[in-house]
Amino acid sequence: MSVISWMAGLFYLPRLFVYHVEQIEQGSETDRLFQVMERKLLRLIMNPAMTATWIFGLALVFTPGIADWSEVWPWTKAVSVLTMTWFHHWLGYRRKDFMAGANTRSGRTYRMMNEVPTVLMIIIVASVIVKF
């Protein structure tokens, strides 16, 4: 459940940023509403979900027999999860930019970045299923 919640947030927050940068006038009531929505999504859903995902993931890593680290797939999965964590924090910094009225990125940038969790999810699932 924590992975699903985390992924949902990683998909949704960049989409909120697209709408925020393209449709909302800075300093307006809607701007403040979007800032609240983005903050709550990140703080109340995504951060706890990421933390729980890491806790449960590390529990699996340290369970004997779950992953054979002499194979490639656990490493590709680990790098992908680390990249997903970096992306999570990148989104957090972008949220702070919106809060400060200092966003310099375009909707196009957020649209492209919105594909990052999809690519990482494909790599993670393929790594675990194929176990190359």
Q: What is the pLDDT of residues 63-122, one digit of tens each?
A: 998 889 999 999 999 999 999 999 999 999 999 999 999 999 999 999 999 999 999 999
Of the pLDDT bands very low, low, confident and very high (cuts 50, 70, 90), residue 19 is very high
Name the token pair of 33: 């509403």
Residue 91 vs residues 11, 45, 79, 102: alpha-carbon distances, Å: 11, 14, 18, 14
Whole-prediction pTM value?
A: 0.93
